């Protein structure tokens, strides 16, 4: 009985931390995926201005728009010699590292 109570208390105590880590994971995954997509568009010859102009107006003044802008800017910071997968991995790992700080 004491073990069950202790486990329940631990679960209640650590649940917010697990949920926060899951949210960080989802956000970093979204940013890295967007960055990879925009990097691929860059390799196809699209300019930063073209990508920014193609953003749907319904995203204006939203947190998602800030993620899109971040992803576009990140896509133009990596050398074209890298692959889309390398870019996504680097962005994801860096994002997780800085979310913990």
The residue-averaged pLDDT of 51-63 equals 86
For residue 43 the two structure tokens come to: 């390799």
Q: Which residue has the higher pLDDT, 38 or 57?
A: 38
User: Alpha-carbon distance 51 to 89, whole Å?
Assistant: 22
Q: Are 29 and 92 in contact (CB under 8 A)?
A: yes
pLDDT category of residue 9 using cuts at 50, 70 and 90? very low
Residue numbers of the domain that contains 82: 21-99
Q: How many CB atoms lie within 10 A of CB 75?
A: 24
- The answer to whether residue 1 is domain-embedded is no
- The answer to whether residue 3 is domain-embedded is no
Over the stretch 17-45, which tens digit does the pLDDT of each residue have? 545 567 878 999 999 999 999 999 999 99
pLDDT at 21: 63
Please tell me the pTM assigned to this model. 0.75
- The answer to whether residue 26 is domain-embedded is yes
Q: What is the DSSP letter of 59?
A: G
**Per the structure, how many domains does the chain have?**
1
For residue 10 the two structure tokens come to: 């631990």
- The answer to whether residue 7 is domain-embedded is no
- The answer to whether residue 56 is domain-embedded is yes
pLDDT at 69: 94
């Amino acid at each position: 009985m004491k073990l069950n109570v202790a486990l329940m208390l631990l679960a209640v105590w650590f649940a917010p931390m697990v949920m926060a880590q899951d949210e960080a994971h989802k956000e970093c995954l979204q940013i890295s995926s967007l960055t990879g997509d925009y990097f691929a568009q860059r390799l196809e010859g699209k300019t930063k201005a073209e990508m920014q102009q193609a953003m749907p107006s319904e995203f204006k003044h939203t947190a998602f728009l800030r993620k899109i802008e971040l992803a576009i800017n990140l896509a133009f910071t990596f050398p074209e010699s890298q692959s889309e997968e390398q870019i996504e991995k680097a962005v994801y790992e860096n994002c997780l590292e800085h979310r913990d700080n």
